[in-house]
Amino acid sequence: MNKHNDIKEKKKRSKSIIVRFNDDEYHRIKQIAKENGLETAVYIRKAAFEFTEFKDKHKKNVINMSVSLCKRAYNADILEDIKNIEIFRSLSDEELLDILDKMLIKSFEKGDTILSQEESNEFIYIVLKGQVKIFIITEYGKEVILAIHKEGSSFGELSVFDGDTTSATIVAREKSIIALLGKDEFKSIIDSYKTVNANFLKMLCSIIRNATDKIEVLSQGNAAQRIKLLFTLLLKKHGKELDNCVNVQLRLTHQEIADMSALTRETVTKTLNKWLNDGEITIFNDHTICFHPEFLKDDLIL
């Protein structure tokens, strides 16, 4: 006879939900939660609260949990993440669920390599949660960061469509959940949905524009001007206006800034310290940098 595992989660102060499932189901649910980068209790809680309407309808205070119930709740949560992906915006929930069925969801820890430079690739990768950095290694062994992608961004498109190997390495900057969409599945989707096709063309234009911007940054001879232009471009994509400055919504180390601008860490530190002392920037406790409008008024267009 199977034992039962009971997990209580408070819905209101005066009310609790008891989730009950057998040992086999618990171990399977624990495995699925781990694969998707969630704590087991969090995964179960999502399912329990997703189906409280079912519980109330049948006047029960116990949900007999199953693997399928947990997966349904998890898919509902992932669906909200997919809605924020630029290429899939304007699609209905039903259409997005159909696309979700074609995806493989994977979890990566900070520092994990997702794709390596010169590696064959059969997938498009979509960042659902977390951040990744894209970089190349020069012949002298120096890392040059080409881009940092947050939730809603994607990568791997070019190598999927031209059949060439990947041109850069992609590593998780923090714990991240990534959706993988196979080459054939993605081609079928852009053939089926005109809006996805149009959004994909816009995304390819953005890739070309970002490459042009990167060349412009690296072409600057003056180190301070190079860093300033880099942040001007980052603010266009990751900027947030505050009361008296514009904040870069990325926590970048001095080494990462150096790797994005092909400078030394010492040069970056010296430049930022000068701007800080001159009152041009503010560095917050979370290490994000806020630029005062007067400093960037000739360069910044949000």
Nearest to 157 by CA among 192, 111, 126, 114: 126
189-218 pLDDT, tens digit per residue, is 989 888 888 988 888 888 888 888 888 888
* 122 and 246 together in one domain: no
Q: For 184, phi and psi rounded to 5 degrees?
A: -65, -40
* 236 and 282 together in one domain: yes
Domain CATH code at residue 208: 2.60.120.10
Please report the DSSP string for 110-170 in residue order: TT-EEE-TT----EEEEEEES-EEEEEE-TTS-EEEEEEE-TT-EE-HHHHHH-PPPSSEE
* 20 and 72 together in one domain: yes
* 95 and 201 together in one domain: yes
* 168 and 184 together in one domain: yes
* Residue 114 located in a structural domain: yes
* 91 and 156 together in one domain: yes
* Residue 24 located in a structural domain: yes
Which structural domain, as residue segments, surrounds residue 177? 84-217
The span from the CA of 256 to the CA of 27, in Å, is 40
* Residue 273 located in a structural domain: yes
The two structure tokens encoding residue 260: 């994005």
* 55 and 91 together in one domain: no
Q: How many structural domains are present in the chain?
A: 3
Q: What percent of the chain has a predicted confidence (pLDDT) above 90?
A: 25
The span from the CA of 186 to the CA of 103, in Å, is 10
Cα 214 to chain centroid, rounded: 21
At which of 48, 78, 108 does a domain end? 78
Which parts of the chain have pLDDT scores under 50? 1-17, 52-65, 299-302
* 34 and 117 together in one domain: no
* Residue 301 located in a structural domain: no
At which of 18, 44, 78 does a domain end? 78
Domain CATH code at residue 243: 1.10.10.10
The reported pLDDT for the residue numbered 68 is 55
The reported pLDDT for the residue numbered 6 is 46
The reported pLDDT for the residue numbered 72 is 57
* 118 and 205 together in one domain: yes
* 70 and 140 together in one domain: no
* 183 and 92 together in one domain: yes
The span from the CA of 249 to the CA of 252, in Å, is 9
* 89 and 212 together in one domain: yes
Cα 162 to chain centroid, rounded: 24
Question: Mapping DSSP to helix (H, G, I), strand (E, B) and coil, where does residue 77 land?
Answer: helix
- pTM score, two decimals? 0.69
At which of 202, 217, 232 does a domain end? 217
Quick check: 17 and 61 in contact, CB under 8 A? yes
* Residue 275 located in a structural domain: yes
* Residue 180 located in a structural domain: yes
Only one residue has tokens 């939660």, namely 33
The reported pLDDT for the residue numbered 19 is 53
* Residue 264 located in a structural domain: yes
